[in-house]
Structure 1
Amino acid sequence: MEYFKGKEASLQSAKAQQAPTQAAPATITPSAAPKPVLGKVDAISMIVGIVVGAGIFRTPSLVAANTDGAAMFLVAWLLGGLVSLIGALCYAELTTTFPNAGGDYHFLTRAFGKKPAFLFAWARMSVIQTGSIALLAFIIGDYAAQIYSIGELSSVVYAALVVTLLTGINIIGISVGAGTQKLLTALEVLGILIVITAGLFFAPSGSTASAPPAAPETANSLGLAMVFVLLTFGGWNEAAYISAELRSGRKGMASVMILSILLITTIYVLMNLSYLNVLGLQGMAQSSAVAGDLMGAVFGEGGLVLIGVIVAIAALTSANATIFTGARTNYALGRDFPVFGFLGKWNPRTSSPVNAFLVQGAIALALIGLGYITRNGFETMVEYTAPVFWFFLLLVGIALFVLRRKEPHLNRPFRVPLYPFTPLIFCLTSAYLLYSSLVYTGLGALVGVAVLLIGVLLLLALPALNRWSGNGNANKYYPNKKEG
């Protein structure tokens, strides 16, 4: 994989990549590494599948309650698309310059060394990705329990089955996992088209579209609305984890990210126009399930059943894509840290990190158990993941500045336009979302931060753990090593 211009720089890069193989027995060989097997359609379906999940069926009512008029409501969603596009442009530079299955982990390693990268990999394995998987599984479990209840534990049992089944599918191999993702994304888009068509073309004559808008609750209502909008757009950064597996190469990654954001923004705007057309802004603000109210108003009781299936498919689509990309960071963690070497094994037959999938699945199942204990699974997982996620997204934005200065001579197939203003906006937005996720959430956020702090303690104990693991070259591979 060429990162530098010229023969000498290429040799240095090759040596840097070969060092882990010499230090850690668990590190993969070139024949058992991620290979470019994904097409652009695979990658776009992965990103769209992650982002367009259950959020668009839940958050519009919260946005409507915090915007003054339908025009501001739609502007908020367009701004969300713009901010996400800015972030995608920043990620396009990083993914095309440093294509790697480690994604954000790899960027943070090159920019700041292995200490922050280790904490990110720990957080992603124990908080960010696994919490998101559990969150989505709870959504599916809740809907499945309404269709067929098996008792008090219905939602938890169904959620656990979803995690187990999807993890197994992705372990079988990348072609099965990617194929499943394309099928689920196609079903999800079909369901969304049904909702859009129902709202725009079959709105009943007695719709409340002309009702007066709900008054904003606070002076800064648009800012609060943007919190929910950007949370709904969250997940596009997962494209970084498949950058090394894209057949079209580095330049193809930029077009994949930009096209994905434009497609997602179009879907969101059309969905919200449908909601407005049937319910009106005030009706949306007063609704706890806008998609259900829309389909109920248009198709009656049958519409409620249909929207339940659509929401379940949307959550299932996001869960599968999240499981697929999440295991890639665990793989990178095992590749670079001997004590976690078992995670860094890549199965060349299935083209997947099997051990990384298994550990990720086990942690997600444990978090499902935590959600059951709190009796509020979905909300607990939102609080648990949000602060840690936005903290590391902010670090990735800063990493772009650091890498521009640290490695200025690298070949960058795509450069973020209007540098440094574009990445600065991305960083400021991430910082605001970090602040909001701490201020507007409860106990779950504190638990997530506490788990991150456990990672700090683990980082401090790494030298002893490496010696205990019997790796004589552990100090050579400890995070103090400067990345080149």
Structure 2
Amino acid sequence: MKGGNRTAEDRPKPVLRIVDAMVIIVGIVVGAGIFRTPSLVAASTGSWELFLLAWLLGGAISLIGALCYAELTTAFPNTGGDYHFLMQAFGKRFAFLFAWARMSVIQTGSIALLAYIVGDYLSPLYHLGPYSAALYAACVVAILTAMNIIGLRFGTGVQKILLAVQFAGLLLITIIGFFVPTVPTALAELPLAGDAPSPTFGLALVFVLLTFGGWNEAGYISAELRAGSRKMVQVLIWSIVLITAIYLLINGVFIRALGIDRVAASDAIGVDLMRVTLGEPGIVLMGILVAVAALTSVNATIFTGARTNYALGRDFQALRWLGKWHNKTSSPTHALVVQGMIALALIGLGAMTRDGFQSMVDFTAPVFWFFFLAIGLSLLVLRRKKPNTPRPFRVPLYPVTPFIFCGSCTYLLYSSLMYTGVGALVGVAVLLLGTLFFFII
């Protein structure tokens, strides 16, 4: 191996239980997005029937993608996850570009944005000055990175606590939404959706699938599953079923309490729900809940994101310091530190030009969907390239299932390019810089 001589003691070990893996995946996916995107989905559907159908279809498409990932993770289990699949299918250069993009903007940008959500919701509760949100965000990244450096068991333990608090909050919202009557005067004060362009169900699916994003992070923990990589099928399927059920329940609450027109017009749907049910105390509660949801996603994203950096250092001599695995803590210490530093730099950029930071994160979408499409194609390539590799799980209805997955990714790539326009050139610049760096090292 090019990353230097390593013994059996300094590499990832299968220590994660099935429940640990599910906690990580659900924690990544069910974050603050469920309190942001329902309004966009409602505006793009126009009726509660189509609104809920979009979320159900989002779960179905994610499940199709999960079946494709299940074959990849069971046949090629590796801490590098997507990076390893792309390496096997398309070679070292393409895999390096993916790891470069993920390390420089995709994963670190997600960490920074999620940390900013925590800051945005905590600042009104206790303001720290003109850079309050950035300070909260920086503290979140620093503390959670340190917790993951302490060790895998500690990091997953924190994740379980955060997820338990988040689930308790989501359960409370469900009870409030279905059983606490709305206050007519407060409901009447909320705006209704005005005249808007004709609803587009395809655009609604774009927002829904973005909210479902993150389940593919399972690939980065497949080699650390105690029950063996073949159990990743069970982890993926049950995680997505649980996520879909949560999303349908929460969106059902929004529709029942506010109605489709008010959901479409809302800028902070969770706050509006509490405003018409519990009043001011409920608004404070919602702020705390959204912050916890974002914290859960940040912690899980930090956990899986560093695994790509570790795999990169393991395969490239010039970056071998990234491939150091700390045996006692079962964590890629150096990779976690580098990831945290880049995320902190992005938070600093956001503190100076918040709009620019938001745009920068949006610009990563085309790069993300491009590589997601490539991972779907890698399943087809590896069936031909490595037909004799043992496959404990084979995707059903092959090749129809991977074709549906690739078609969905292609549509989302097209939609993201149309949404960002010339901004997509930022992602292209990142890839070009990565290509140059590849030849340098």
Which interval holds the TM-score relative to the shorter structure? Answer: over 0.9
- For residue 423 of structure 1, report the CA deviation from its aligned partner: 0.7
Looking at structure 2, the residues matched to 359 and 382 of structure 1 have their Cα atoms a distance apart, in angstroms, of: 19
- 3-state SS of paired residue (1:441): helix
- 3-state SS of paired residue (1:298): coil
Which residue number in structure 2 is paired with residue 231 of structure 1? 210
Identity of aligned residues (%): 62
Task: Say if 1:268 and 1:24 are closer, same or farther in 2 by CA, change over 3 A.
Answer: closer
State which drifts further: 195-204 or 442-451: 442-451
Which residue number in structure 1 is paired with residue 296 of structure 2? 317
Q: Write the letter of the residue equivalent to 1:109.
A: M
Which residue number in structure 1 is paired with residue 317 of structure 2? 338
Q: How does 1:426-445 map to 2 (within 5 A)?
A: 426-441=405-420, 445=424
Q: Write the letter of the residue equivalent to 1:452.
A: L
Which residue number in structure 1 is paired with residue 34 of structure 2? 56
Which residue number in structure 2 is paired with residue 190 of structure 1? 168
Gaps of 5+ in 2: none
Paired residues, number = 439
Q: 1:135·1:381 contact (CA, 8 Å) conserved in 2?
A: no
- For residue 250 of structure 1, report the CA deviation from its aligned partner: 2.1
Task: Say if 1:364 and 1:399 are closer, same or farther in 2 by CA, change over 3 A.
Answer: same
Task: Say if 1:266 and 1:381 are closer, same or farther in 2 by CA, change over 3 A.
Answer: farther
> CA RMSD, aligned part only?
1.9
Which residue number in structure 1 is paired with residue 25 of structure 2? 47
Q: Write the letter of the residue equivalent to 1:244.
A: A
Larger radius of gyration: 1
Q: How does 1:52-201 map to 2 (within 5 A)?
A: 52-201=30-179
Gaps of 5+ in 1: 1-19, 463-484
Q: Write the letter of the residue equivalent to 1:161.
A: C
- For residue 385 of structure 1, report the CA deviation from its aligned partner: 2.4
Looking at structure 2, the residues matched to 369 and 296 of structure 1 have their Cα atoms a distance apart, in angstroms, of: 33
Q: Write the letter of the residue equivalent to 1:418.
A: L
Which residue number in structure 2 is paired with residue 251 of structure 1? 230
For residues 225-262 of structure 1, give each alpha carbon's deviation from its aligned partner in whole angstroms, at most 9, with x where no partner exists: 11111110000000100000111112211000000000
Which residue number in structure 2 is paired with residue 298 of structure 1? 277
Which residue number in structure 2 is paired with residue 475 of structure 1? none
Task: Say if 1:214 and 1:191 are closer, same or farther in 2 by CA, change over 3 A.
Answer: same
Which residue number in structure 2 is paired with residue 280 of structure 1? 259
- 3-state SS of paired residue (2:277): helix
Runs of 4+ in 1 over 3 A off after TM superposition: 205-209, 213-220, 442-446
* TM-score, L = length of structure 1: 0.87
* TM-score, L = length of structure 2: 0.96
For residues 186-231 of structure 1, give each alpha carbon's deviation from its aligned partner in whole angstroms, at most 9, with x where no partner exists: 111111111111111113263969x9x9688445611111111111
Looking at structure 2, the residues matched to 203 and 239 of structure 1 have their Cα atoms a distance apart, in angstroms, of: 40
Looking at structure 2, the residues matched to 436 and 412 of structure 1 have their Cα atoms a distance apart, in angstroms, of: 34
Which residue number in structure 1 is paired with residue 286 of structure 2? 307
Task: Say if 1:208 and 1:141 are closer, same or farther in 2 by CA, change over 3 A.
Answer: closer
Looking at structure 2, the residues matched to 199 and 306 of structure 1 have their Cα atoms a distance apart, in angstroms, of: 14
For residues 73-97 of structure 1, give each alpha carbon's deviation from its aligned partner in whole angstroms, at most 9, with x where no partner exists: 1100001001110111100110011
Q: Write the letter of the residue equivalent to 1:31.
A: E
- 3-state SS of paired residue (2:363): helix
2:400 to 421, 425, 448: 421
State which drifts further: 237-246 or 438-447: 438-447
Task: Say if 1:284 and 1:24 are closer, same or farther in 2 by CA, change over 3 A.
Answer: closer
Q: 1:77·1:268 contact (CA, 8 Å) conserved in 2?
A: yes
- 3-state SS of paired residue (2:420): coil
- For residue 451 of structure 1, report the CA deviation from its aligned partner: 1.8
Q: Write the letter of the residue equivalent to 1:448.
A: G
Looking at structure 1, the residues matched to 376 and 215 of structure 2 have their Cα atoms a distance apart, in angstroms, of: 14
Note if 1:395 corresponds to 2:395: no
